[in-house]
Amino acid sequence: MQPPPSFDTWTSLFAFAVAMGFFLGISIIVGKSKKNIPIALLVLSFSLILFQYVLFWTGYQWQFPYLIMLPHVCYYTTGPLLYWYLLTLHKKEVSFNYALHFVPAFLVSITFLGSLINMLHIAKIEIPWPWFSNNPWLIAAHMAIYAGISLRLIFSGKTANKYQALRKRWSTVLTGLFTVFVLAYLSYYILVHFPFFNSQWDYMISITMSLSIYAIGYFVIKEPQVFDGEFFTELFLPDENQDLPFETSLMNELFQKLTHHMETQKPFIDNELRLVHLADQLGFSTHLLSKVINKKSGKNFNQFVNDYRLQEAKRLLLENPDFNIKTIYFDVGFNNKATFYNAFKKEFHCTPSQFRESTLSSS
């Protein structure tokens, strides 16, 4: 008789990571940049694997036996998804033929479908190539190959500017966690043959998957431009040392038009303002607008827009003593209160409340 299903501290943390993974994956998919689809699918794959692990450890898998083969499908998708994302991030061409990388996952899906048909008693069929779908050494080798070629891609790229440096840092963290996951997976099937092995060591695989999900969540919060369309736009710009394709006088004229638009129309108060939206308003291409902002202000799009938002917040605090500080971040265009407070303190060396108090006391 099976013991009743139950959760402990570890499985509860893993269950939370699963929920966070599903939320992150869906959030990235519905975001503005379609180039982030591979990383979103990678997060969802890890979440599905971890979900099945949680079902196994808590005893709930006997209530959902149809999902038992799901991790094997996801294992074979993780490597191709990671490499696909990194290729996109490093401006490498990804053709339709890249779908061939998912052939192993497709073959395991057929095995999964056959098992499902048998479990549901729809028909009695022979499971195709079970040796392939259930072989941990093949799974480990498959993932290790993608970890290796991903690391080679990362360290063969240049870091000529801050965007490429951020790309390398982010790619290294992501691929490093994936490599640790592969090593944890491999070590489990090696150590299981030794007498000192403890079944709880299986948690190491889930810990690395959870860390990957949490790391992506951290970058979503701390480095949101990684998942923003503007980040890809900046990466695709020519090197800063290249000669400008237009005269300095024209650059000055375009920048003057931009600043006039920012000061008179205040597009920055739109919380959903993106590079493409501002470019459409000005009649510029996104590429040209990025170059104008970079060359004339020395800032990226987010920094440039946030400077206007901070100045607007300053104006509101000075001109409206009764203005609600709790909502001012949203009124000037910020989506996140913590981001606004950090940016305000960095710019003015005090919080909005302290800024107002010092203004009132000096008047």
pLDDT digits (tens, 9 = 90+) for 180-207: 889 888 888 887 777 776 666 677 778 8
Are both 122 and 162 inside the same structural domain? Answer: yes
18 and 140, same domain (yes or no): yes
Same domain, 157 and 220: yes
Q: What pLDDT is recorded for position 225?
A: 58
Res 77: pLDDT: 95
The predicted-structure confidence for 281-336, as pLDDT tens digits, reads as follows 888 778 888 888 988 898 999 999 999 999 999 988 888 877 788 788 888 999 88
Q: Which helix (H) or strand (E) holds 261?
A: helix 248-265
Residue 276 lies in a domain: yes
Whether residue 193 is found in the same domain as residue 262: no
Residue 3 lies inside a defined structural domain of this protein: no
pLDDT at residue 261, as a whole number: 93
Quick check: helix, strand or coil at residue 302? helix
Mean pLDDT of the chain: 82
Instruction: Show which of 235, 268, 286 is a domain's final residue.
Output: 235
What are the tens digits of pLDDT across the range 223-266? 655 665 555 555 554 444 444 444 577 788 889 999 999 999 99
What are the respective helix, strand and coil percentages of the chain, to the nearest 5? 75, 0, 25
Please determine, for residue 103, whether its predicted confidence score (pLDDT) is greater than 60. yes
As for how many domains the chain has, the answer is 2
Is the residue at 243 inside a domain? Answer: no
Domain that holds residue 13: 9-235
Residues 220 and 175 in one domain: yes
pLDDT at 63: 79
Model confidence at 270, pLDDT cuts 50, 70, 90, reads: very high
Q: Are residues 219 and 136 in the same domain?
A: yes
Same domain, yes or no: 87 and 220: yes
pLDDT attached to residue 263 = 93
pLDDT digits (tens, 9 = 90+) for 213-226: 877 776 766 665 56
Is 1 within a domain?
no
For residues 280 and 338, membership in a common domain is answered with yes
167 with 273, same domain: the answer is no
Statement to judge: residues 66 and 168 lie in one domain: yes
Rounded Cα–Cα distance for residues 207 and 14 (Å): 8
Torsion of the alpha carbons at 339, 344, 345 and 350, rounded to the nearest 10: -140
CATH of residue 284: 1.10.10.60
Percentage of the chain lying above the pLDDT 90 cut: 25
| CATH label of the domain that carries residue 153 | 1.20.1070
273 part of a folded domain: yes
Q: Is the pLDDT of residue 41 over 50?
A: yes
Domain presence at residue 44 = yes
Residue 86 has pLDDT above 70, yes or no: yes
- pTM reported for the whole predicted model: 0.62
Residue 2 covered by a domain: no
Q: Are residues 223 and 348 in the same domain?
A: no
Nearest to 84 by CA among 72, 64, 98: 98
Mean pLDDT across the stretch 20-26?
89
